[in-house]
């Protein structure tokens, strides 16, 4: 059989989708089966994801698949990073997973560093210090006296938890585990010391499996309920960014990437982790990738800023489409005010519009008035922050960076793509927008031995997608704006 079908379940922090991927010869094609929102739920000032509802969406996707009468070879699940669930001795979930946006980790890294110094944590893990990393969530839960953590027999990261609900098999997939800041990227093993320091037994973690390894088969009850076959579930890059980077249509290695969604993840692909004083001072991360690669990158707050504004506008009865947003941004003057997208005040504010206004006021800049001005301020600031991070990357990259591949949902934003090219002064290659699902599917195929290397994967991707190229324009104008922008960075 020259045609193979795969089912990808891809969960981002604001939406999820189930996708059918078909590989025929040297091409891959996608068909979206279902799409649904993913929401953070606030209860008593704690913030949760609803993993039961997400599992139901997984089953909905499989039920939709079954109506097509297409036989699939495998299933793969990827999600956002760092979050997890606890299981009791009896294998049941002890609580809904906390969301990384929960402020319970505020100030927790500083407390943890009193036990293991910050630099040692970074040297052991190579992971960008961020409040919400699993290590600090675990410590926060301990400090809260959480009954769930104290009764936990196992801990499963979100993609592993969903695979477990589907198959009954517990694993710890390597790429998602690398986001925890508990794993050593050199040994590719967990650092017991980092668990013990906070009184958490390292045995709550499952044995590590690598992307492409088989987890198990869909359980009989799901087979019956969804009307599907007994399909194997394969560990893909469980971390969405890990799957996305696999699907970059690159023709050589001299590129940087920007995986653009709720977050903007900007970095390079390297063989060995880069952990040194520069990477520590610039707070760059080394996440585990497929085929022994490392994603050396930085988390930048991305479309979260816009998504949160949109939510507020919607509650006022104004729902703008994406193309309206781009049009609005174009309709007003640029460079009026800049924000640092990564300022703490934007992490999870009650009102994003108020948080942006407060930032501009505090920094004595013009406060945006119209909705269009807010949008323009966000896009200008993102494009300029990309330049700032790219300049850091250029200092460290072991090769020249000749272009920026923008992938993910944000790559559909032509206005931001052009602004980014203008800001960074090198071409932007935009697409594919469904990079994560494509990567997820290609890793399943790799796991089944249908494709043999990352290079071969990328050749198939290149044969299947039509990226758009954006050449830098107005670079002098953007150079001047950059000088004003960097004044807003702390």
Contact positions vs ligand LRH (CB under 6 A)? 12-13, 80-82, 100, 179, 239-241, 261-263, 265, 299
Residue 245: is it exposed, middle or buried by C-beta count within 10 angstroms (0-12/13-18/19+)?
buried
| Encoded tokens for 372 | 């269009």
Helix, strand or coil, per DSSP, at residue 180: coil
Shortest Å, Cβ 82 to ligand LRH: 5
> Do residues 435 and 30 touch, judged by C-beta distance below 8 A?
no
Catalytic position from the list 240, 340, 343, 371: 240
Instruction: Give whichever of 299 and 444 is closer to ligand LRH, judged by the CB atom.
Output: 299
Shortest Å, Cβ 341 to ligand LRH: 14
Q: Tokens 């949008």 label which residue?
A: 375
Instruction: Give whichever of 81 and 185 is closer to ligand LRH, judged by the CB atom.
Output: 81
Q: What is the pairing mode between strands 154-157 and 46-49?
A: unpaired
Residue count of the chain? 490
Instruction: Give whichever of 36 and 313 is closer to ligand LRH, judged by the CB atom.
Output: 36
Shortest Å, Cβ 81 to ligand LRH: 4
Give the CB-side neighbour count of residue 392, counting CA atoms within 13 A.
22
Q: Is 240 a catalytic residue?
A: yes
Instruction: Give whichever of 55 and 263 is closer to ligand LRH, judged by the CB atom.
Output: 263
Shortest Å, Cβ 439 to ligand LRH: 13
Beta bridge partners of 154: 87
Instruction: Give whichever of 211 and 261 is closer to ligand LRH, judged by the CB atom.
Output: 261
What DSSP character marks residue 207? P
Query: In angstroms, rounded to a whole number, what is the distance separating the alpha carbons of residues 411 and 154?
Result: 38
Instruction: Give residues with Cβ within 8 angstroms of 288, minimum separation 6.
Output: 174, 175, 177, 178, 183, 185, 188, 242, 294, 295
Q: Tokens 């949760």 label which residue?
A: 48
Shortest Å, Cβ 21 to ligand LRH: 20
Instruction: List the catalytic residues.
Output: 240
């Amino acid at each position: 059989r020259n045609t193979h079908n795969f089912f990808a379940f891809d969960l981002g922090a604001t939406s999820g989708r189930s996708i059918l991927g078909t590989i025929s010869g040297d091409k891959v094609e996608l068909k979206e089966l279902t799409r649904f929102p993913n929401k953070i739920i606030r209860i008593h000032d704690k913030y949760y994801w609803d993993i039961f509802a997400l599992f139901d969406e997984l089953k909905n996707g499989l039920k939709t698949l079954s109506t097509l009468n297409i036989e699939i070879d495998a299933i793969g699940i990827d999600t956002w990073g760092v979050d997890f669930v606890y299981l009791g001795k009896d294998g049941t979930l002890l609580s809904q997973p906390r969301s990384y946006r929960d402020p319970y980790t505020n100030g927790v890294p500083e407390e943890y560093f009193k036990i293991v110094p910050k630099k040692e944590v970074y040297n052991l893990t190579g992971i960008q210090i961020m409040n919400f990393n699993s290590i600090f969530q675990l410590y926060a839960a301990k400090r809260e006296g959480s009954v769930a953590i104290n009764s936990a027999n196992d801990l499963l990261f979100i993609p592993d938890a969903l695979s477990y609900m589907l198959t009954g098999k517990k694993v710890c997939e390597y790429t998602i585990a690398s986001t925890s800041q508990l794993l050593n990227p050199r040994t590719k093993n967990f650092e017991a010391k980092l668990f013990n320091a906070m009184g958490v037994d390292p045995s709550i973690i499952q044995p590590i499996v690598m992307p492409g390894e088989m987890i198990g088969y869909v359980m009989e009850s799901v087979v019956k309920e969804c009307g599907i076959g007994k399909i194997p579930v394969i560990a893909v890059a469980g971390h969405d960014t890990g799957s996305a980077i696999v699907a970059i249509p690159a023709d050589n290695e001299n590129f940087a990437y920007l995986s653009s969604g709720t977050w903007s993840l900007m970095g390079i692909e390297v063989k060995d982790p880069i952990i040194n004083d520069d990477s520590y001072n610039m707070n760059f991360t080394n996440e585990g990738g497929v085929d022994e690669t490392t994603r050396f990158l930085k988390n930048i707050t991305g479309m979260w800023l816009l998504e949160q504004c949109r939510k507020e506008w919607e509650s006022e009865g104004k729902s703008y489409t994406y193309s309206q947003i781009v049009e609005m941004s174009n309709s007003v003057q640029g460079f009026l005010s800049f924000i640092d997208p990564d300022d703490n005040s934007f992490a999870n504010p009650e009102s994003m519009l108020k948080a942006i206004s407060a930032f501009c006021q505090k920094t004595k800049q013009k406060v945006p008035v119209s909705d269009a001005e807010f949008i323009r301020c966000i896009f200008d600031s993102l494009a300029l922050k990309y330049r700032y991070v790219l300049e850091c990357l250029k200092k460290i990259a072991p090769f020249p960076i000749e272009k920026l591949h923008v992938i993910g949902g944000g790559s559909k934003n032509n206005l931001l793509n052009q602004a980014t090219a203008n800001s960074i002064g090198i071409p932007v290659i935009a697409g594919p927008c469904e990079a994560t699902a494509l990567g997820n599917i290609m890793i399943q195929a790799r796991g089944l031995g249908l494709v043999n290397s990352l290079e071969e994967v990328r050749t198939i991707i290149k044969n299947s997608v039509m990226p758009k190229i954006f050449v830098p324009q107005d670079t002098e104008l953007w150079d001047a704006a950059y000088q004003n922008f960097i004044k807003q960075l702390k």
